[in-house]
Amino acid sequence: MPAARLLDELAKLCKQDLSARNAFSSALAAGALEPLLRICVGASDYLRWVALGLLAAVAGEDLGEPQRLREVSDKIHTQSCDLQNWLGPLMDLKLTPATAMVVLEGEDIPALLAGCKLAHRIFHAHVDECNGCSGTPANPLPEDWVGTVCGQLSDAYGAAIVHIRERVELAIQKISVEGDSGTFVKLSTRSPKDSLLLPGRERRLRKSGLSADAAELHVLKVADASDAIALMLLSNRVESDLESLALAGPDAQIYICCREWVDIDFSAELRCFVADGRLTAVSQYCDDRLSRWSDDAHGALQLAAVCFERMAPALAKLGIRNCVFDANVASASNVASASDDSRPIVVELNSFGVRTGAALFDWDKEADLAILTGAAGGDPVVRVVRHGDEAATRGHGASSDAAGRARTCYPGSVLSYTPLCRCSE
């Protein structure tokens, strides 16, 4: 029971003895703490954090802001939206791309964590050296990131990462469509869309003739397992999620997910909000540009409604009443199982609350929060970037010279602030 996990953490923080912990367990069994504990693992972020403070007060301890409790509560809250928990039912509905998963266990997680930390040190050391000298840096960026990292780790960790790569390669082969040349690879929690390798990849794609939108999407299309592991090793999101896994308890699992590559219009992605089992709001995901929905807000609502109506029974069976899902349209030519010219797809499920971006809404604005939670009532509210909006004039995909380095301008994107050196020009 998620609440029991919070009680364990509370007992550790309060340094309570066994009898006190038993008293908490007895109170829970009698239902005395049940209302408070339900809030502590509930969908409302701010209310959940206040309830955690009250729970600490019940323990008779002034913990100030019980950060560990808050982190555990957040992890419990978000865990139901990890990909492995909803993938099967949505694949059965042909509502999400085919996916093969590789479970990380044993030495896999500490090895990958050590690899992430080492890869970041190598990258930043090179950037500092490259930008501080006029000639060729003595330590160029590795061409084989996996080989370089494994060569500098312990034998056990290096072997673990090599074994991960072998299993990921088998998973990629399992879901690859004949004639296809790429896969989308992520953790079951989040994608490596902040990888330090992405700006260089984006630049090469733009030079090959891809548009700004297409390049921003295709930087995450990997050719093989080595390519996928390299992106992950240089992702703070991956490193953070591996570190936080322990918060979910000893039985928690995390996976590397290899997903069938689907060509979509990235600018057309929608962020859709579900509260208490009801679709409450729809927003254009990319809040920094015009999209196909700029002149068709009704079409955006139709796409979101179709996806939600089809997956609502599955979500109900999974006990997911609050979530944020990302939807788009896939071309049948890129999806082997599609029967129509195009079909709606659910790209991702995210937890409901401030840990998930609200796109054109704002969790901190009372009026927006009332819309997102359904408290405002009425039909779902749709927001898109329209012609004349400030966001439509930011020059998405235009060339810029930010921080003295020529680069493509992606307002709000990780491609806009990843450190660059002379080698990336």
One domain, residues 63 and 9: yes
pLDDT at 342: 66
Least confident stretch, 45-59, 195-209, 351-365: 45-59
Chain segment 257-278, per-residue pLDDT in tens: 999 998 888 888 999 999 999 9
Identify whether residues 112 and 255 lie together within a single domain. Answer: yes
Position 399 in a domain: no
- Asked if pLDDT for residue 170 goes beyond 70, the answer is yes
Confidence of residue 2 (pLDDT cuts 50, 70, 90): low
**Number of domains the chain contains:** 3
Is the same domain home to 148 and 272?
A: no
Cβ(373)–Cβ(352) below 8 Å: no
Domain C-terminal end among 217, 240, 261? 261
114 and 24: one domain? no
Mean pLDDT of 350-371: 92
pLDDT, greater one: 27 or 47: 47
Round the average pLDDT of the chain to a whole number and report it: 82
Rounded Cα distance, 334 and 261, in Å: 8
The answer on 312 and 332 residing in a single domain is: yes
Domain boundary among 226, 261, 296: 261
- Whether 301 and 277 map to the same domain: the answer is yes
Q: Which domain holds residue 11?
A: 2-79
Q: Give a yes or no: residue 89 inside a domain.
A: no
User: Given 235, 261, 287, which residue is the final one in a domain?
Assistant: 261
Question: Are residues 373 and 237 part of one domain?
Answer: no
Domain match, 160 and 268 both:
no
- 313: domain CATH number is 3.30.470
This prediction's pTM = 0.82
Q: Same structural domain for residues 73 and 116?
A: no
CA distance linking residue 131 with residue 421, whole number of Å:
6
> Does one domain contain both 282 and 245?
no
Tens digit of pLDDT for each residue in 171-191? 999 988 655 668 999 999 999
Averaged pLDDT, 119-126: 92
Whether 419 is covered by a domain: the verdict is no
How would you class 247 by CB atoms within 10 Å of its CB: exposed for 0-12, middle for 13-18, buried for 19 or more?
middle
Q: How confident is the model at residue 286 (pLDDT cuts 50, 70, 90)?
A: confident
**Share of residues in the chain with pLDDT > 90 (%):** 49
29 pLDDT above the threshold of 50: yes
Cβ atoms 414, 202 nearer than 8 A: no
